[in-house]
Amino acid sequence: MRVLLIGFGVVGQSFAELVESESKKLAKDYGLRPKIVGIVDSRGAALAQEGIDIKKALISKRDSGSLEGLGGGLYTAGRNGLDAIRETDCEVVIEATPTDLKKGEPGLSHVRAAMKEKRHVICTNKGPLAIAMPALIELAHHNKIVFKFSGTVGGGTPVLDFAKKCLDGSQIRSISGILNGTSNYILSKMTSDGAQMKDVLAEAQKFGYAEADPTYDIGGFDTACKLVITSNYVLGTSLSIKDVGIRGITEITNQDILRAKSKGYAVKLIGRMDTKPKVAPEEIPITHPLNVSGTFNAIAFDTYPAGEITLVGKGAGGKETASSVIRDLIEIRRTFAR
């Protein structure tokens, strides 16, 4: 399976490492032999129809920040994702560029172009989906390609496909979840240590859990993206991020947390879809399965007749998210093989 990888950061590199380290198992267990025929980053692209030397690409990126070190005339500075989609003969495009919630770019253009060229698409970037998910699903149907985005919600935890495939025969009445690890880390530390939000945020930035600009996480926008994607995929809604009422955790004080704690509750940033989609801090009983601590994510599906089912796992991480890309590739391969 020939793969074009757009975005060679934490997720892109982890995916390349997994393809390299797991190649025998993937071939033996799933008949999957991914060949990376192109890699694009913000500076340029390396294309090689016979397959890129993954070890060399990883070393070049680590040592010089670019793919120039691949040599052999494979790399062209300034060649972008759209050029690479046009110029590469690939079956699957993996989109792993940074999330942008204003216009969804550059990911949205990459996804659209790939679909129009009839390439299957795997997207870990939430931007295109938060803005234009219904239109992209339609475009995928129209072009008869597979569009997968398991890594956008829950990192390596199979939230979307669990709800879509394992709950056949049950009705999902509502979804509620802790979907952002950074906010949960901050609230957990404020609860367990009485720490101040600004100090925990600084610590989270030091450990690399939080971005230099944390608005996306603590402002609730990341949670809203994931709620939109989950609700559209699982409940069949046609939401975009503009439809979600969003309140982050910035106004939560230590007093709020202490007050909740004295009643046996914890303050959590919850993305909830029942009648209307919303993101807001809520008090939940400390005994509730959603009350996970640290950077964990948890999502609860209220189902009939099976009752409430909660999934807990790491919501992010390079290797974890790359594992979801591998799952998506396996599914595309299965669809081909049918």
Active-site annotation, residues = 226
Q: Is residue 317 involved in binding ligand NAP (CB under 6 A)?
A: yes
For 44, other C-beta atoms within 10 Å of its C-beta total: 18
Residue selected from 5, 26, 37, 40 as contacting ligand NAP according to rule CB under 6 A:
40
Q: Which residues contact 212 (CB under 8 A, 6 or more apart)?
A: 205
Task: Tell me which stretch binds ligand NAP (CB under 6 A): 9-17, 205-213, 226-234, 284-292.
Answer: 9-17
Kindly tell me which residue out of 2, 35, 43, 288 binds ligand NAP, with binding defined by CB under 6 A: 43
Choices 71-79, 93-101, 142-150, 199-207; region in contact with ligand NAP by CB under 6 A: 93-101
Distance CA 227, CA 232 (A): 8
Q: Is 10 in the site for ligand NAP (CB under 6 A)?
A: yes
Nearer to ligand NAP, 96 or 284 (CB): 96
What is the footprint of ligand NAP within residues 107-126 (CB under 6 A)?
A: 124-126
69 binds ligand NAP (CB under 6 A): no
In whole angstroms, the minimum distance from the beta carbon of 39 to ligand NAP comes to: 9
In the complex, residue closest to ligand NAP by CB: 9
Find the binder of ligand NAP among 1, 26, 38, 41 (CB under 6 A): 41
Q: Using DSSP, state whether 304 is helix, strand or coil.
A: strand
8 A C-beta contact, residue 143 and residue 111 = no
Per-residue DSSP letters for 252-292?
A: --HHHHHHHHHTTEEEEEEEEESSSEEEEEEEEETTSTT--
Q: Which of 104, 155, 220, 277 binds ligand NAP (CB under 6 A)?
A: 155
68, burial (CB in 10 Å: exposed 0-12, middle 13-18, buried 19+): middle
Q: With binding defined as CB under 6 A, does residue 12 bind ligand NAP?
A: yes
Do β-strands 35-40 and 44-47 pair in parallel, antiparallel, or remain unpaired?
antiparallel
**96 interacts with ligand NAP by CB under 6 A:** yes
Contact with ligand NAP (CB under 6 A): which of 157, 191, 321, 323?
A: 321
- Confirm if 137 and 147 have CB atoms less than 8 A apart: yes
Structure tokens at 154: 């829950």
The answer to whether residue 318 forms part of the interface with ligand NAP (CB under 6 A) is yes
Give 18's strand partners.
none
* Longest Cα–Cα distance in the chain: 66
Q: Nearest CA to 234 among 289, 279, 296, 167?
A: 167
- When the beta carbons of 12 and 271 are compared against ligand NAP, the nearer one is 12
**Binding of residue 42 to ligand NAP (CB under 6 A):** yes
Tell the smallest beta-carbon distance from residue 294 to ligand NAP (Å): 15
Which stretches of the chain bind ligand NAP, using CB under 6 A?
A: 6-12, 40-43, 80-81, 96-99, 106, 124-126, 151-152, 155, 316-318, 321
